[in-house]
Amino acid sequence: MNSSFDEPELLTKLAYCIDRGKVNSSSKFPADLIGLPGVEEITSELLQKNIPPKTILDEALLKGMSKVGEKFRDGKIFIPDVLISAKAMNAAMDILKPYIVKGDLKLKGKVILATVKGDLHNIGKNLVKMVLEGGGWEVIDLGIDVSSEKIIDALQMNEVKAVGLSALLTTTMLNMRDIVSDIKKSFPDLPVCVGGAPLNKKFADEIKAGLYSPDPQGFLDYLNSNFALN
């Protein structure tokens, strides 16, 4: 479907579709956009017009997702809204994937995420993953119930800018303490960001994590402002 808009207008529309979670013209959601082109059509049209994938990523997809992250942080939208936008973002990234594989489009860097040993809660960690990926970062998701050894193995195999750890139980907060300490023994300068409902800055300072954010956006902002963007 060719919507015959010019490039800046298409980029703005694409950012809006990410923000609203509009995947394609057949999507039944959002109701007020039924029948209109979504991220799939607009991303393809921009590529057909020879707009560089990096422009599409920076000027539309990341702008749209950053709005989503900020609204979620400010309590203006809720988990289902983030999931819907993440679905739209993934649809666009699927179209851009061949350019990433070819090396035409570089992501900002790699981050490891894990829910700590003993803890099976992954909803919060998955939201962090979506927001970071939506922000242009490559996430190595080690999953739930993750040991220090698994994280250190992954760190040895990948050049990573930071690690994010999640814990939802007061009991597994203690495991988080050990994991942070193990990571810091092998990688003293690596930023480790901790999060999860029972945590606070005081605890993060006590376990010498270095970084605490109550929400995904805080971690994304940290990464974006501390590591050179390509």
Select from 4, 50, 170, 225 the one that contacts ligand B12 (CB under 6 A): 170
Binding mask 188-217 toward ligand B12 (x if CB under 6 A, else -) reads -----xxxxxx--------------x-xx-
As measured in angstroms, the least distance from the Cβ of 217 to ligand B12 is 8
Select from 45, 119, 133, 141 the one that contacts ligand B12 (CB under 6 A): 119
- Per-residue exposure over 23-55, b if at least 16 CB sit within 10 Å of its own CB, e if not: bbbebeeeeebeebbbbbbbbbbbbeeebebee
Q: On the CB side of 105, how many CA atoms lie within 13 Å of its CA? A: 21
Dig out the tokens for 75 from the structure.
């309590």
Nearest to 195 by CA among 218, 178, 221, 226: 218
183 binds ligand B12 (CB under 6 A): no
Residues 6+ apart with CB under 8 A from 69: 131, 134, 135, 216, 217, 220
* DSSP type of residue 140: E
| Between 95 and 168, CB nearer to ligand B12 | 168
169 binds ligand B12 (CB under 6 A): yes
Binding mask 122-161 toward ligand B12 (x if CB under 6 A, else -) reads xxxx-xx---------------------------------
Binding mask 97-116 toward ligand B12 (x if CB under 6 A, else -) reads --------------------
| Between 1 and 79, CB nearer to ligand B12 | 79
Dig out the tokens for 190 from the structure.
């690596």
168 binds ligand B12 (CB under 6 A): yes
As measured in angstroms, the least distance from the Cβ of 131 to ligand B12 is 8
Q: Which residue has the tokens 């495991």?
A: 175
* DSSP type of residue 58: I
Catalog residues that contact ligand B12 under the rule CB under 6 A.
Answer: 79, 118-125, 127-128, 164-166, 168-170, 193-198, 213, 215-216, 219
